[in-house]
Amino acid sequence: MAIRKDGVDRYNVLLKAALEVFAEKGYRNTTVAEICNRAKSNVAAVNYHFGSKDKLYLAVWKMAFEEALKVYPLNGGLPDDSSAEQRLRAVVYSLVHRFLDDGRLGRAGQILLREMAESTEAVQQILSDIISPLQRKVGQIIKELLGENASQQQVAFCQLSLINQCIALGFRRSKGKLPPVLGEGKLTAETIDELVEHITLFSLAGIAAVRNK
């Protein structure tokens, strides 16, 4: 049976409200009542469309990451035969923009940062379905850059270093504590692009040093 249009609209309104509240407060500090108040809806609607707070949270994660990846894809829209260096830059571009986007697309990064601060069991499925494949893709690029003889530990360390450079920016922005060198107030597109280039060059140099060692 097809879902009525008003049902689809209510579903989307609840998702949007939940996205905002979860990004602001995290899973544990968010109540279904608060989401319903933001959506001008009721608990019965949440139970009908999602079944529980956990399932609503998972739906929010899925929507947020899919939206963000559409605009900031991990491969940057590059052809498959692009160099490992080009693909690494695309990864950095995707991560930095998803953490620093001030609009709705940045919500995915904000939720991720909250999960890293206080992980919940509710998100294990998302970590498995969405985050782990992304980590494997980054690991494959780094492995290619390091060479055939690279150990799993070397790949993992380089991956950790790369991703944490991007995550640190998100943490500092969420706390309103970006360093003065990045300018005051809202980050400009030019500054964000400069950060992408810096992290890319810095990471490539570090990976090359590990490979040479």
Let me know if 125 is exposed, middle or buried by CB neighbors in 10 A (0-12, 13-18, 19+). Answer: middle
What pLDDT, on the 0 to 100 scale, is given for residue 176? 73
Q: Give the mean pLDDT of the chain.
A: 83
Domains and CATH numbers, the chain: 5-53 (1.10.10.60), 62-212 (1.10.357.10)
102 to 13, 19, 97, 145: CA distances (angstroms): 20, 14, 9, 32
Residues 6+ apart with CB under 8 A from 205: none
Per residue in 69-108, pLDDT (tens digit) is 788 888 888 888 899 999 999 999 988 888 887 665 556 6
Q: What is the pTM of this model?
A: 0.76
Instruction: Work out the average pLDDT over 126-153.
Output: 86
Rounded CA separation 89/67 (Å): 20
Rounded CA separation 172/192 (Å): 14
